[in-house]
Amino acid sequence: GQNIDQPTEMTATEGAIVQINCTYQTSGFNGLFWYQQHAGEAPTFLSYNVLDGLEEKGRFSSFLSRSKGYSYLLLKELQMKDSASYLCAVRDSNYQLIWGAGTKLIIKP
């Protein structure tokens, strides 16, 4: 079966750095997405990786290793507004998105 694994919850301190991991087992691979979802709101797009390596976008970076079935989202200079759930999703060989359950990130002052 297809599977996306992420930690359920993480806690970090304002101003620090946090890495949220995502491992996947899917039938084929056509890209990996990270989304941010604040409580009670819609998911919003953060990043897309299809080739191995690091994609940097401001305070957020996303890394992909296709051979290891592994990605991470790196958040730097954490702000209170970064408290949210972070969703990892993989597009499989049928171009369908398979979603992880999300990682709830709690930022403490």
Partner 1 sequence: IAGITQAPTSQILAAGRRMTLRCTQDMRHNAMYWYRQDLGLGLRLIHYSNTAGTTGKGEVPDGYSVSRANTDDFPLTLASAVPSQTSVYFCASSADSSNNSPLHFGNGTRLTVT
State yes or no: residue 22 binds partner 1 (CB under 8 A).
no
Per DSSP, what are the bridge partners of residue 11?
A: 106
How far apart (Å, rounded) are the C-alpha atoms in residues 97 and 43?
A: 14
Residues 36-65 within binding reach of partner 1 (CB under 8 A)? 41-45, 48, 50
Among 20, 26, 33, 73, binds partner 1 (CB under 8 A): 33
How far apart (Å, rounded) are the C-alpha atoms in residues 62 and 53?
A: 8
Residues that bind partner 1 (CB under 8 A): 4, 30-31, 33, 41-45, 48, 50, 87, 89, 91, 95-102
